[in-house]
Amino acid sequence: MRSMAAFDYSALSVDAIRSGIAAKEFTAREVALAAIERIGAADAKVNAFLQTTPDMALAAADALDSAVSSGTFDEMGPLAGVPVAFKDNMNLLGTRTTCGSRMLENYDSAYTATCVQRIVDAGGLPMGKLNMDEFAFGSSTETSAFGTTKNPWDLERVPGGSSGGSAAAVASGMVHVTLGSDTGGSIRQPASFCGVIGIKPTYGLVSRYGVVAFGSSLDQVGPFARNVRDAALALNALVGHDPLDCTSQPCETDFTANLDEGVAGMRIGVVPEFMTAPGLEPEVGEAVLAAIQKLAAQGAEIVEVELPNAAAAMSAYYVIGPCEAFSNLSRFDSVRYGYRDPGHADLGSQYEASRAFGFGQEAQRRILLGSYLLSAGVYDTYYYPAQQVRTLITDDYRMAFGECDCILAPTSPRTAFKFGEITDPNTMHLSDIFTISINIAGNGGMSVPLGLSADSGLPASAQLICPWFKDENMLRVAAAIEREYGPAPIAPAFADGKVGA
């Protein structure tokens, strides 16, 4: 048996892990043990995990190794033996599901979310649950009640959010595939900050059953990975109708099928308003322009498309999101589950004290905003018009996709910022300026790494946006970008088996 310390599983691709186990070069148990050891050391620096599940990982690994012994490994799924982990708003029986909140600090998952089950059924080794902004309200993972997650590229910087743990765990090479959720950019922006791939699929492609809801008309679950094929394999496992989420749609697409086709003849849209947006840092804009030129050189047709109402997406989102959150978070009533403040003689004061202690500041802000926006009189000023603006934004995308197969844009206006650097809520909300309109319209979007930024040396990225249920288009473009820039590297301090400086 090889030395565990020498077995660097982290640099292997998903396919290489599966074929290595099949060829008996190593066992699934060896992968699981190496991952447990690596997470134990590296996560002391990163703090991506809120809990680890070594027993689950070993049990899953042993089942795979038994399949190798009995000659049935071919029947195992495409993620067989791959270390995976889940954002902590996803239920997994046998774990807590905290949503990064004191409200759910002691909440035991009552069942397993469909998305989690599908990754486990595909052969993933569940390594644990990942840190997040409280109830997914945030863009830096700083609102978690359980400490901040560090960006593996620079431990003094945020990993982005709200799925910051999911991005950091992949960027530091602790696990290969993680799941996040994205309501306004919460997969794509942390993927951008951590230099990994993060996919928000088209609304309806992935079941949300068992994922704690934030904004139900906006929320979508998707994977993080370090190369496009790994991400496509994870997406294959995730998609499809689930009787337990009535928004989920049937899907027969193999997202790996067109990765080698190249972009020659594809029409790739560029949005001039995005490229000249105030707040877009020059090094980010330059990186995106360079990627556009490389795709043109590969034979893509670059076309300008207009999204005239995209500028209103931010304000529409901060109407729709808080209203839906206000409704969804009313379930935390201190009676059926969640934090109960002790010693109250009447139910009313128990509600108020429990929710005041259980919810952090940003969660309270959004709930109160929703409370205001849904109140009589105000509803007609903001809520109804926001839904009309949503129609305009959706129509914009529909028109734009009449002229192109995929849009290329910035993911975030800037690279990763430092802890505490942004404290004003409105400024923090601007982190999602390029991602939010996609949730409003329901299209798919993903962040792909573009190497390192010229000035800051931090990961640069681009966002790809696809027509409804044409997520294979953006994966095809992502594969073409990957041929130029290479797959996402593990952050240097964690590369080659290292576990942080």
Partner 1 sequence: MTQHVTERDVRRMAEYARIGLADDDLPQMTEDLNNIIESLKPITEYDLEGVEPTFHPIGDLSNVMRDDVETPSFTQKEALANAPAAQDGSFLIPSILGGGDA
Which residues, 274 to 333, sit near partner 1 by CB under 8 A? 311-312, 314-316, 318-319, 326, 330, 333
- Please identify which residue in 246, 264, 399, 454 interacts with partner 1, judged by CB under 8 A: 246
Residue 13 or 364 having the CB closest to partner 1: 364
Which one of 10, 87, 129, 200 is the catalytic residue? Answer: 87
264 CA to centre of own chain: 29
Which one of 139, 140, 162, 412 is the catalytic residue? Answer: 162
CB of 382 to partner 1, least distance (A): 6
Of the listed pieces 5-13, 280-288, 388-396, 410-418, which binds partner 1 according to CB under 8 A?
A: 388-396
CB of 286 to partner 1, least distance (A): 28
Label residue 195 left, alpha or beta by phi (over 0 means left) and psi (-120 to 50 means alpha).
left
- Please identify which residue in 86, 107, 224, 494 interacts with partner 1, judged by CB under 8 A: 107
Tokens of 261: 């086709």
Q: Tell me the C-alpha distance between 469 and 187, whole Å.
A: 18
| Phi, psi angle pair for 385, to nearest 5° | -60, -35
- Please identify which residue in 22, 290, 302, 353 interacts with partner 1, judged by CB under 8 A: 353
- Please identify which residue in 157, 226, 429, 476 interacts with partner 1, judged by CB under 8 A: 429
Angle CA 268–478–127, to nearest 5? 150
Site for partner 1, residues 247 to 276, rule: CB under 8 A: 247-249
DSSP 8-state secondary structure symbol assigned to residue 109: P
Strands 125-130 and 83-87: parallel
Tokens of 50: 């809120």
Residue 439 or 473 having the CB closest to partner 1: 439
Q: Tell me the C-alpha distance between 228 and 212, whole Å.
A: 27
Q: Tell me the C-alpha distance between 255 and 396, whole Å.
A: 26
Site for partner 1, residues 158 to 217, rule: CB under 8 A: 202-204, 217
Tokens of 372: 């205001």
Angle CA 473–475–478, to nearest 5? 115
Site for partner 1, residues 461 to 490, rule: CB under 8 A: 468
Site for partner 1, residues 397 to 426, rule: CB under 8 A: 424-426
The count of residues interacting with partner 1 (CB under 8 A) is 74
DSSP 8-state secondary structure symbol assigned to residue 279: T
Element (H, E) at 378: helix 378-378
CB of 322 to partner 1, least distance (A): 9
CB of 331 to partner 1, least distance (A): 12
**Residues labelled catalytic:** 87, 162, 186
